[in-house]
A and B are shown apart, each in its own frame.
Chain A
Amino acid sequence: MNHLIPPSIQPYVFSVLYGIVIVALLPLLAGYIVLVERKVMADMQARLGPMRVGPHGLLQPIADALKLLIKEDIVPEKADRFLFWWAPVLSVTMALLAYAAIPFGPVFQIADLNVGLLFILAISSMGIYGIVLGGWASNSHYSLLGALRSAAQLVSYETAAGLGLVSALMLAGSLSMKEIVQAQYDQGVWFAFVVPVGFFIYFVGSIAETNRAPFDLPEAESELVAGYMTEYSGFRWALYFLGEYANMVVVGSIATTLFLGGWLRPFARNHDLLWGTSIELLDIVPALLFLGVAAYSFWTARRQPVQIQKLVMVAVGALCVVLAAVMTAALFASPAVMQGIHGAFWFLAKVFGYIYVFLWVRFTFPRYRFDQLMRLGWHFLIPLALVNVIVVGVTIVLQQNWEWRHPMLAAVATTVIMLGVAAFLAQEEKQHQESMPAAER
Chain B
Amino acid sequence: MANDPSEKDPNAKPPEGPAGSGATPPKPATPAAPSQPPASAPPAGAPHAKPAAPAAAAPPKPPAPPKEAPPKPVPLDNELVQRLKARFGEAIREATLDRKQAIVLVAAAQLREIARYCRDDEKFNMLADLTAVDWPKREQRFDVILNLYSFPKNERLRLKAHAAENEPVPSVCEVWPAANWLERECFDMFGIVFEGHPDLKRILLPDEWQGHPLRKDYDILKQDTAWVRENLGIESGQ
Is A–B contact present in the complex under a CB 8 A cutoff?
no
